[in-house]
Structure 1
Amino acid sequence: MPTRSPDAIRETLSPLIAPGLRARALIRNSVILSALTLLAGCASQGQTDPNGYRADGQASYYGARHHGNKTASGERFDQHALTAAHRSLPFGSRVRVTNLRNDKTVVVRINDRGPYAKKRIIDLSQQAAKQLDMLRDGVVPVRLEQLSQ
Structure 2
Amino acid sequence: MQFNPKILKTSTFRLAAIYLLVFAVSVGSILAYVFWNTAGLLERQTDATIRAEVQALADQYRLLGLRGIVDTVQRRSAERGGGVYLIADANGKRIVGNLESVPPQVIDETGWIDFPLDIQIGENKQRRSARAFHTDLKDDYELIVG
Q: Which structure dedicates a bigger proportion of its chain to helix?
A: 2
Bin for the TM-score computed over the shorter chain:
0.3 to 0.5
The structure with the largest alpha-carbon Rg is 2
Q: Which of structures 1 and 2 has the larger relative contact order (alpha carbons within 8 angstroms, sep 6+)?
A: 1
TM superposition score normalised by structure 1: 0.36
